[in-house]
Each structure stands twice: as structure tokens, then as C-alpha cells.
Amino acid sequence: MKVTAVIINLLYFLALAPFLEGVMRKLTARIQSRQGPPLYQPYLDLLKLLGKENLNAAGHPVFRLAPLLAFASILSAIALLPLAGQSSFLAHSSDLMTLIYFLTLSGFSILIGALASGNPFAGVGASREMMTIIMLEPVLAMTLILGVVRAGSLNLLTATAGVSSARGLSYFLMMAVYLVALQAFVSRQPFDIPEAEVEILEGPYIEYSGPNYALFRYTLNLKRMFYSWLFVVGFLGFWLPGSPVLNLVVQTVLILVLFVLISVVGATHPRFRMDQALRFYAALVLLSLVAVGLGVRGW
């Protein structure tokens, strides 16, 4: 039964993530006075890519390995999640640190894939991606640590619930920081800098095509959904009903609302330059540290 819960976890994410991208694309299109693709378009895109010949453009085994590693690590991260307020079957052998490791590994896989491709645009994209990971990972960690401080446990269920257990100054500050960082977590404007199509032609992914690329796309979709999910469960967890089914429904609706927000912000902002974004990220990291400090003081 508990294993089934993990499978449901994975299926829920795998099934919904491309749909959320569809929502984002449709909304962006409407804001731009366009018709936009149907909501199910991302599924077709993935299917199409998966059906193509798998080219190893760089001729390097790492190039082929990177998308698999990225996809596998994001799936592993998802398998640990306490979906619908239920602790994961894997919770006894994992905790918050494991989650952070898997997330970092997934970002790291994109880096090594980009570097293995040997393309100068991928190189620039990788260096931008690396800076983003270095600057933003602490914001994610601090959010979870705030929960740990509150709950006194590294268990994922209690830690995520801990974030919103007391809604004082630290809670609101961290929520604001996370909301801004979310736009960068999901790499949408103004923070889609590592991919920046007109500058570096999708950066890390430039040499990727077919199934390899499909895996990266899917990873990105899952990641976006994960970060939105974390916001909903972490900061709005106190809202969620106790019944697992109802809980899941409310979660899904809230994630959708969050995606609407992401799309609107993305469609109404130009892209920052890396140096401008870095200053922004630095402020976010500092503020998240302050929030944890406040949390420790019990504010």
C-alpha cells in the first residue's frame, strides 16, 4: 500500500507537469494577443521528441548520461515527497538533506551535459546555470531549514508542515523571498537567463535533440511543478484539508493558481542580464538568512 503511494506520487507529477506547461503557454499567448497552442500540446511535443532518433551530438558518453541522470534524480526527489499530507514510504530512509541532494544533482546533470557538448553557447549557458544554482539553492535550503527549526526534525513531512506552523514575521518574509525566487526556480522571465533563446540559443540544451532533449524538457516541467508544490505545501500547508483526496485536489488547484501567477509575471517582464540578476539573488539569499534568524528567535 505504501509503495503504491510512492507510485501515485510519481504518476501525479508525471501526468500533471506537462499540462502545467500547457497552461503557461496558453496564458502567455493570451496575454500576447495570440491564440496559443492547445493545453495538451506539451504532451504531443514530448511524444514527438521521444519518437525521434537519439543522436549523441558530442560523441561523449557523459552527453548521453546527463539527461538520464537529470530525469532520474528529479524523479527520486519526487518519490520522497509527502504528497497529500502523507509521509512517503521512503521517509524512514531519507530526509530533507536527501531531497536537496537530488535536486542539486538534477541541476548538476544539466551542467555536465552542457559542458560535454563542447558548444560555446552551451558553455555560456552552463556558467550562467551554475551561478544560478549557487545563488538560489540556499534560498530553497533556508526555506526548508526554517521548517526544520520550527519542527525540530529533518523529516520531510514535519519540516514542510513546520514552515507554516507559526505565521510570524519570519514566515511572511520567507514567503515573499520564495515567491520572487520561484520565478527563477522555474526559469521564466525575468530570470530565464541560462536559456535566453536570442542570446545563447537555449544555452545548455543547444546540442540536445530527440529523446535526450525530451528528458531535459520533462525534467524542467517536473522541477517547475515541484517548486510550486513546495510553496503550496510549505507556506499554505495549514490551509490544506486533512483528507488525502481532498488535500490533493486543493493542492492541485493552488499549484494551478501559482502557475497563472508565474505566467503573468513571465509575460510582462523582459529578461534581466546575468549581472543584474546576481545582485537580485544575493539580496534574496540575505533575506532568507534573516528569515531563518528570525525563525530561530521565534518571531
Partner 1 sequence: MSRGEELVRWLEKELGGNFISAEATIPGRLFIDLKREALSAAAAGLMNRGARYQVGVGYDARKSGQGFGLVHTFAFDKDSLLVALRTFAPGDDPEFDSLTPLIPGAGWSEREYQDLLGLKFRDHPNPRRLVLSDDWPEGIYPLRREVPHDLMPPAAEEVAFRLDEAPPGTSIVPFGPFHASLHEPAHFSVYVDGEDIKGCEYRGFMTHRGIEKLAQTELTYNDVPFVAERICGICGSVHSVNYAQAVEAAAGLRIPRRAEFIRMVALELERLHSHLLWLGVAGHLIGFDTVFMQAWRIREKIMWLAERLTGNRKTYGMVIIGGVRRDINQDRSEDIRAVLKEVEREMLALEKAILKDRTIHRRTRGVGYLSREEAVKWNLIGPVARARGVDIDARRDHPYAAYDEVQFEVPLADSGDVWGTLVVRVKEVYEAIKIINQCLDKLEKLPKNQPLAVDLEGPIPSGRQGLSLVEAPRGEAVHYVLTGEDNRPERWRVRAPTYPNLQAVPSMLLNNKLADFPIIVGSIDPCISCTDRVLVVERSSGKAKLLSRQELENLSRGKRSKK
Q: How many residues bind partner 1 (CB under 8 A)?
A: 29
Could you say whether residue 192 binds partner 1 (CB under 8 A)?
A: yes
Per CB under 8 A, the segment of 14-22, 32-40, 49-57, 145-153 that binds partner 1 is 32-40
Q: Residues 82, 107, 113, 190: which binds partner 1 (CB under 8 A)?
A: 190
Radius of gyration, CA atoms only, the chain:
19
Candidates 6, 31, 39, 62: give the one binding partner 1 (CB under 8 A). Answer: 31
Query: In angstroms, what is the minimal distance from the CB of 194 to partner 1?
Result: 11
Cβ 192 to partner 1, closest distance in Å?
7
157 closest CA partner among 206, 96, 214, 110? 96
Q: In this chain, which stretch among 133-141, 154-162, 193-201, 241-249 interacts with partner 1, using CB under 8 A?
A: 193-201
Find the binder of partner 1 among 112, 124, 184, 233 (CB under 8 A): 124
Please identify which residue in 2, 52, 273, 297 interacts with partner 1, judged by CB under 8 A: 273
Contacts (Cβ under 8 Å, ≥6 apart) of 285 = 135, 138, 139, 142
Q: Which of 1, 3, 33, 93 binds partner 1 (CB under 8 A)?
A: 33
Q: Which amino acid is at 154?
A: L
Q: How far is the CB of 255 from partner 1 (least distance, A)?
A: 24
Please state the closest distance from residue 112 (CB atom) to partner 1, in A.
20
User: Three-state SS across the chain?
Assistant: CHHHHHHHHHHHHHHHHHHHHHHHHHHHHHHCCCCCCCCCHHHHHHHHHHCCCCCCCCCCHHHHHHHHHHHHHHHHHHHCCCHHHCCCHHHHHCCHHHHHHHHHHHHHHHHHHHHHHCCHHHHHHHHHHHHHHHHHHHHHHHHHHHHHHHHCCCCHHHHHHHHCCCCCHHHHHHHHHHHHHHHHHCCCCCCCCCCCHHHHCCHHHCCCCHHHHHHHHHHHHHHHHHHHHHHHHHHCHHHCCCCHHHHHHHHHHHHHHHHHHHHHHHHCCCCCCHHHHHHHHHHHHHHHHHHHHHHHCCC
6/274 with CB nearer partner 1:
274
By CB under 8 A, tell whether 34 contacts partner 1: yes
Q: Does 267 bind partner 1 (CB under 8 A)?
A: yes
Which of 121, 185, 235, 259 touches partner 1 by CB under 8 A? 121
Footprint on residues 197-216 left by partner 1 (CB under 8 A): 197-201
Q: Can residue 282 be called a binding residue for partner 1 (CB under 8 A)?
A: no
Residue from the set 272, 288, 292, 294 that interacts with partner 1 by CB under 8 A: 272
Which part of the chain contacts partner 1 (CB under 8 A), choosing from 30-38, 53-61, 160-168, 291-299? 30-38
269 binds partner 1 (CB under 8 A): yes
Residues that bind partner 1 (CB under 8 A): 28, 31-34, 120-121, 124, 127, 189-190, 192-193, 196-201, 267-276
